[in-house]
């Protein structure tokens, strides 16, 4: 079951949903719009490695905008700190952004219950597209879970701004577990 816009507002008022900052005009019929934060991280190596940390450079998106090129992943983040201990958030692009061929995430739309963060966006452009800091790029939906709730306590908890992949930490833990 997905929450409607008015129900998102109600649950935000009671503190069961975090949307910070909150703007009433960002409420949609069944989602809440979020904005693109001011910084992007770009991997500097051509070949990425799941076993190791991958170096990034950080850029600030100028007010005049920045063109995202195809063939790269740009890690951005939401301006808003969002989350819920009661509902499952799923993030999507706004359709106006999708209609320009800009992906907001690369197959990672699911947010854990209990993840209260500025979430990381994996921006991927089909053709060159100019973006601006604070652009209203995406929307978050909230879904009613069924079953016992276990709150997220993973490696990205408490983060702010774009976060590069930490999957190498899993790999090392896995290797030492099976060795």
Ligand X SMILES: Nc1ccn([C@H]2C[C@H](O)[C@@H](COP(=O)(O)OP(=O)(O)OP(=O)(O)O)O2)c(=O)n1
Which of 115, 133, 135, 138: binder of ligand X (CB under 6 A)?
Answer: 115
Tokens of 63: 């007010």
Distance CA 92, CA 75 (A): 15
Task: Compute the least distance from the CB of residue 37 to ligand X, in Å.
Answer: 12
With binding defined as CB under 6 A, does residue 108 bind ligand X?
yes
With binding defined as CB under 6 A, does residue 105 bind ligand X?
yes
Question: In the chain, helix, strand, coil percent, each to 5?
Answer: 15, 30, 50
- Residue entry with tokens 């007010």: 63
Window contacting ligand X (CB under 6 A); options: 37-45, 52-60, 112-120, 143-151? 112-120
Cα 93-95-98 angle, rounded to 5 deg? 70
Q: Which residue is nearest to ligand X (CB)?
A: 154
With binding defined as CB under 6 A, does residue 154 bind ligand X?
yes
**Alpha helix (H) ranges present in 69-156?**
95-98
Task: Compute the least distance from the CB of residue 102 to ligand X, in Å.
Answer: 14
With binding defined as CB under 6 A, does residue 112 bind ligand X?
yes
Q: Helix, strand, or coil here: 168?
A: helix
Q: Which is nearer to ligand X, 61 or 123 (CB)?
A: 123
Task: Compute the least distance from the CB of residue 113 to ligand X, in Å.
Answer: 8
Strand pairing partners for 60?
39
94 Cβ partners below 8 Å, 6+ apart? 33, 136, 137, 138, 139
Window contacting ligand X (CB under 6 A); options: 51-59, 62-70, 116-124, 134-142? 116-124
Q: Which residues bind ligand X (CB under 6 A)?
A: 105, 108, 110-112, 115, 117, 119-120, 152, 154-156, 167
């Amino acid at each position: 079951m997905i929450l409607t816009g008015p129900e998102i507002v109600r649950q935000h008022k009671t503190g069961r949903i975090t949307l910070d900052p909150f703007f009433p005009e960002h409420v949609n019929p069944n989602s809440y719009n979020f904005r693109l934060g001011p910084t992007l991280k770009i991997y500097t190596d051509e070949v990425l490695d799941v076993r190791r940390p991958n170096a990034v450079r950080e850029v600030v998106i100028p007010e005049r905008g920045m063109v995202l090129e195809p063939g790269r992943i740009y890690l951005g983040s939401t301006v808003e700190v969002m989350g819920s201990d009661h509902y499952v958030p799923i993030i999507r692009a706004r359709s106006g952004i999708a209609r320009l061929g800009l992906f907001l995430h690369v197959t990672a739309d699911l947010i854990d219950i209990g993840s209260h963060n500025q979430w990381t966006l994996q921006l991927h452009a089909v053709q060159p597209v100019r973006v601006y800091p604070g652009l209203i790029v995406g929307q978050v939906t909230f879904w009613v879970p069924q079953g016992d709730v276990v709150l997220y306590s993973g490696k990205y908890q408490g983060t702010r701004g774009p976060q590069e992949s930490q999957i190498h930490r899993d790999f090392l833990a896995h290797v030492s577990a099976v060795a």
